[in-house]
Chains A and B, each alone.
Chain A
Amino acid sequence: MRVVLAEDLYLLRDGLTHLLTAHGCEVVAAVETGPELAEAIEEHSPDLAIVDVRLPPTFTDEGLQTALEMRRKRPGLPVLVLSQHVEQLYARELLADGAGAIGYLLKDRVMNAAQFVDALRRVADGGTVMDPDVIAKLLAGSANKQPLGALTPREREVLELMAEGCSNAAIGQRLFIGEGAVGKHTAGIFAKLGLPVSDDTNRRVLAVIAYLNNAQP
């Protein structure tokens, strides 16, 4: 897998390069700034771009903007956005085009290398990976908001894992329940959110996200 990496902190850039190489990825370019990122993507057409939200020269959301810009130019370009903090606002923007192949994770997740690389692969394969914190925030603020407030605690757990891109089998393993039970919960969730039932994990996440983007009045 050919990867372009944009991260302005040298230590992190270096560490990520090592980690990716160790897990069999080829880092074709490791750059520091937004414009360099755009150039590297144009030049290498990578299988995945890993992008820090905050990049020079503006040190605002340069990385995020560049990633969004590149995905407008190349629909479906797999991008994994890393940040020191996660915002529902950014998650919505990343997911808005509905093309999949998008990930949004806290930088902390790098520490669990196996899960991190797993997430990379899912994004590169066109999947969607949301940081558990995004979903937790979403659910934490939803007590008064219909219809998310109507979910049972178990359904919330399942939704969180669905948004992380887990399949029914993976959700069952993580929650120590059978796959059939997971299916029942997902059906309940989709019914409550008024979404079409689907087994394809990517489409499921997109459905959830579409709901996040549009359903609230």
Chain B
Amino acid sequence: MCPPDREVVRRVLTAPLYGLVLGVLSGVGLVQLVVVFVIGHAGMPPPTVPVRVARWLPNLYRRLVGSWSGTPVPVPYRPSPAKPEPDADGWYRDEDELYSTPWIAVFKRQWDWLTQDPATLRDHGWAVLNPVVGGVPALLPVGLIAAGAWRPLPFGVVLVAAGFAVGPLVMRWQARWTPVLLGPTERTGPTRAWAWIAPRVTAVVRLGSVIGTAVGGLGLAALHVLAIVPTLLLWWPEVTLVSRRVVRHRREELARWTGLDVPEPYRPEPEPPTPEADGTYRLRRPVVTVLYRSAEELRQAQRRRWTVRDPAAWRDFAWLLVNPLLVVVLAVVPLALVGYGFVGLLWVAAWAQLVRLFVPYDSWFAWTFLADLVPASGVVPGPLSPLVGVAATAAGLALAPLALRAYAWASRLLLAPTKAAVLARRVDRLTETRADARDAQAAELRRIERDLHDGAQAHWVAMGMRLGVVEQLIDRDPEAAKNLVAQAQQSSVNALRELRELIRGIHPPVLAERGLADAIRALALDSPLDVEVRVDLPGRVEAPIEISVYFSVRELLTNAARHAEAATARIEIRHGEGVLRVEVTDDGRGGADPRKGTGLRGVQRRIATFDGTLSLRSPRGGPTSVLLEVPCALSLPRTSTSSETG
């Protein structure tokens, strides 16, 4: 025999064995996919780990098919991300957040790496499809040979021979098919069919996870009951907070999945207790003020009010109870359609064709229980049942996004704050900002009074006294009188200077004369920093807002110079969509925290009176950027658009 013939013989003899191995691995792939899915959703270990570990199987498959068929299958994965390096202070940075341990940064990098690599999804697709497309043909030779071995001689020999004959073909098919999903892809964008299927498959998976939380939620509801009855409410706030985290997660997911806005209904977390002058702690409520002897007692009371006395807690609880019902009504139908149609009628049917080789079996109705359950379904001719499966799958896929949306909408009825809660929160906020404004006003008046009393008033008293002495001295000692007049004059200069400073602190004249834009420019010129000012303000805002924004910017510039050790700053002012936006950015060392200093907090309070908000970005190491947003209208169209430095 010549060498090529020996090669042919080798291929013929090994193909059934190789096919058996590949067929088994196909089955393992599917089982592994299910395991990865379950572990990935269990939360521990993080979902990146099972996905990463599971790559051993496609890798093995690639290698085997490559070496057995002679055409290697390249590995398509992107290179794994570098380990995060700590900064000089030993912190691990992830965008704007710093962590003391590298784990979170590692996890995020791994997550991005895995989810953004198309090979990950293709691996999963392969695990689903390969048992049918690759596994069934791969098992065909060994199946034929095994079937032949059990049959009477002439027919059996034919089957065995057929088994060996198809072996090389099967291996060639493996070499063609495997790179399709396991090899690298040139394509970056999805095809049209995939663009239709992918979001709907996602919706089906999400509905699946909704079922998961519904079951878990029942457990939480049971925990609520346990906390209420046996521990006599002691653990209830804690349980409420735990379930709040779960529900909050679901709320965020629903908003992300469907675009429906589901606002948080909870009351704000209470401030840490501060003692009164007499050492007691007080909880102020609209009608009564309750007195506590220790901070811990007040903290407990606040915690109860914050958690279980919040109507939102009861609505969360109700949602946990109602949720399974919603899920049954909405999620089960599309899931059943896809599950039964795809798995029951299509996928298993394909396998059943193989099974039929060995045992008599109505392979088209793979899952016969539907036929048992609904005898009428038996009228569908067997060979058509895969088509029914396709139709059911498509219907389920089409239904899934609608069901998810309906579920989100229904959940929102309980998860979003009620009108009353929204109003109550608004009232709380108004009460709070009004109190702040009132306190600030009182403090301001007190400061003005003190400044006038100690400053200008005192100077004028001195001036009057000196002039009185001058009156007596002017004839007797003109030289001394002259001296005193000079002193009186100096007193008046000093008084004027202090008045000027005082006025600047009450309402800067330049603001009255020029408006916000030029007042900010004047501020920039006086600042020790190099400040760039950009203003796009085609009009003037209300005077009270102008004043607040002016003093806020002044405070922010002072902070930048004093605490952040910045050298330059940029102020941008613009107005759009009914909101005045003022952004102050400096090149300082960052790390600003509103909880530490009173400055940022004061700014926050100042603009809160106008429903304004302050957002701070100040990573350690800088730069710091503070954005003030105040809803307001513009009046008196007057163009002032320019950029200036100072």
Alpha-carbon distance between A111 and B488 when the two chains are bound, in angstroms: 11
A88/B510 contact (C-beta < 8 A), A111-B493, A217-B530 known: no
* Interface size in chain A (residues, C-beta < 8 A): 27
B645 touches A111 (CB 8 A): no
Tell me which residues across on chain B come within 8 A of A83, comparing CB atoms.
Answer: 509
B528 touches A142 (CB 8 A): yes
In the complex, B529 has a CB within 8 A of chain A: yes
Q: Answer whether A144 and B528 are a contact pair too, CB < 8 Å, given A61-B513, A216-B646.
A: yes
Which residues, 475 to 532 on B, are CB-close (under 8 Å) to A?
A: 489, 492-493, 496-497, 500, 503-504, 509-510, 512-514, 518, 521-522, 525-530
A85 and B504 within 8 A (CB): yes
Q: Given B497, B509, B567, which contacts A144 in the complex, CB threshold below 8 Å?
A: B567
Q: Judge whether A198 is part of the interface by a CB distance below 8 angstroms.
A: no
- CB closest residue in chain B, given A62: B513
Q: How far is the CA of A8 from the CA of B561 in the complex (A)?
A: 39
Does A156 make an interface contact (CB < 8 A)? no
Q: Is A173 an interface residue (CB 8 A)?
A: no
Residues of chain A with a CB closer than 8 A to B503's CB: 84-85
A86 to B526, CA, bound (A): 11
**Nearest opposing residue in chain B for A86, CB measure:** B500
- Residues of A with C-beta under 8 A to B510: 85, 87, 89-90
B639 CB, min distance to chain A CBs, angstroms = 16
**CB proximity to A under 8 Å, residues B439-494:** 489, 492-493
A180 within 8 A of B: no
Chain B residues near A92: list those with CB within 8 A.
525
* A70-109 contacts to B (CB < 8 Å): 83-85, 87-90, 92, 108
A18 located at the interface, meaning its Cβ lies under 8 Å from any Cβ of chain B in the complex: no
Return the CB mask of A39-82 against B: 1 if under 8 Å, else 0.
00000000000000110000111001000000000000000000
* B residues contacting the other copy or chain, number (CB 8 A): 26
Q: Contact check, B509 vs A54: say whether CB atoms are below 8 A apart.
A: yes
Q: When the two chains form their complex, are residues A89 and B521 in contact, meaning their CB atoms are under 8 A apart?
A: yes
Q: Is A114 an interface position by the 8 A CB rule?
A: no
By the criterion CB–CB under 8 Å, are A88 and B522 in contact? Answer: yes
Q: Are A54 and B527 CB-contacts (below 8 A) given A111-B492, A217-B645?
A: no
Residues of B contacting A111 with CB < 8 Å? 489, 492-493
A112-148 residues with Cβ-Cβ distance < 8 A to B are 112, 137-138, 140-145
Q: For B530, what are the chain A residues with a Cβ–Cβ distance below 8 Å? A: 144-145, 216-217
Q: Are B567 and A89 in contact (CB under 8 A)?
A: no
Tell me, in angstroms, the Cα distance from A88 to B533 when the chains sit together.
15
Chain B residue at minimum C-beta to C-beta distance from A64: B513
Closest CB in chain A relative to B495 CB, distance in Å: 10
Contact B528 A141 (CB under 8 A): yes
Nearest opposing residue in chain A for B486, CB measure: A112
State whether B509 touches A85 (Cβ < 8 A): yes
In the complex, the answer to whether B493 meets A61 with C-beta atoms within 8 Å is no
Choose from B489, B500, B526 the contact partner of A84 (Cβ within 8 Å). Answer: B500
Report if A88-B512 is in contact (Cβ < 8 Å); known contacts: A108-B493, A217-B645: no
A60 / chain B contacts, CB cutoff of 8 Å:
512-514
Contact B528 A84 (CB under 8 A): no
Question: How many angstroms between the C-alpha atoms of A90 and B527 in the bound complex?
Answer: 16
When distances are taken between beta carbons in the complex, the residues of chain B under 8 Å from A64 are: 513
A-side contacts of B567, CB under 8 Å: 144
In whole angstroms, what is the CA distance A217 to B532 when docked? 9
Q: CA separation between A143 and B521, bound complex, in Å?
A: 18
Nearest opposing residue in chain A for B522, CB measure: A89
Known A89-B521, A89-B522, A111-B492; judge A84-B527 contact (CB<8 A): no
Q: Mark B615-633, 1 if CB is under 8 A from A, else 0.
A: 0000000000000000000
Contacts of A90 in B (CB 8 A): 510
Closest residue to A89 on the B side, CB-wise?
B522
Q: How far is the CA of A140 from the CA of B518 in the complex (A)?
A: 20
User: Which listed residue, A54, A108, A216, touches B496 by the CB 8 Å rule?
Assistant: A108
Q: Nearest Cβ in chain A — how far from B128, in angstroms?
A: 62
Contact B529 A144 (CB under 8 A): yes
Name the distance in Å between A208's Cβ and chain B's nearest Cβ.
Answer: 15
Q: Which one of B489, B512, B528 has the highest number of Cβ atoms from chain A below 10 Å of its Cβ? A: B528
Q: What residue of chain A has the Cβ atom nearest to residue B496's Cβ?
A: A108
Tell whether, in the assembled complex, residue B513 and residue A137 are in contact, meaning their CB atoms are under 8 Å apart.
no
Interface residue from A108, A112, A216 paired with B645 (Cβ < 8 Å): A216
- Of chain A, the residue at the smallest CB distance from B510 is A87
Given known pairs A89-B518, A89-B522, A108-B493, the reply for A141 and B513 (CB within 8 Å) is no
Interface residue from B496, B509, B526 paired with A141 (Cβ < 8 Å): B526
CA of A124 to CA of B561, assembled, Å: 41
Nearest B-chain residue to A112, judged by Cβ: B489
Q: In the complex, how many angstroms separate the beta carbon of A86 from the nearest chain B beta carbon?
A: 9
Give the residues in chain B near A84, CB-CB below 8 Å: 500, 503, 509
What is the CA–CA distance of A85 and B646 in the complex, to the nearest angstrom?
19
Mark out the residues of chain A between 155 and 212 whose CB falls within 8 Å of any chain B CB in the assembled complex. Answer: none
In the complex, residue of chain A having the shortest beta-carbon distance to the beta carbon of B532: A217
> Is there an interface contact between A61 and B528, defined as CB atoms closer than 8 Å?
no
Residue of A87, A108, A111, A140 with highest tally of chain B CB at under 10 A: A87
Considering the complex, give the chain A residue whose CB is closest to the CB of B515.
A60
Measured CB to CB, the closest approach of chain A to B411, in angstroms, equals 55
Q: Which residues of B contact A61 (CB under 8 A)?
A: 513-514
Please state if A89 and B525 are interface contacts (CB–CB under 8 Å). yes
C-alpha gap A217/B493 in the complex (Å): 36
Q: Tell me which residues across on chain B come within 8 A of A85, comparing CB atoms.
A: 500, 503-504, 509-510
What is the chain B residue whose CB lies nearest that of A149?
B528
Chain A residue contacts of B489, Cβ below 8 A: 111-112
The 9 closest A-B pairs by CB, nearest first: A88-B525, A61-B513, A89-B522, A60-B513, A85-B509, A141-B528, A87-B522, A108-B496, A144-B567
Chain B interface (Cβ < 8 Å from any Cβ of A):
489, 492-493, 496-497, 500, 503-504, 509-510, 512-514, 518, 521-522, 525-530, 561, 567, 645-646
Spell out A's residues near B (CB within 8 Å). Answer: 53-54, 59-61, 64, 83-85, 87-90, 92, 108, 111-112, 137-138, 140-145, 216-217
Write 23 A-B pairs (CB below 8 A) sorted by A numbering. A53-B513, A54-B509, A60-B513, A61-B514, A64-B513, A84-B503, A85-B510, A88-B522, A88-B525, A89-B510, A89-B525, A90-B510, A108-B497, A111-B489, A112-B489, A137-B525, A141-B526, A141-B528, A144-B528, A144-B530, A144-B567, A145-B528, A217-B530
Q: Given contacts A85-B504, A87-B525, A141-B525, list 16 more A-B pairs with CB under 8 A.
A: A54-B509, A60-B513, A61-B514, A85-B500, A85-B503, A87-B522, A88-B525, A89-B514, A89-B521, A137-B525, A138-B525, A142-B528, A143-B528, A144-B529, A144-B530, A145-B528
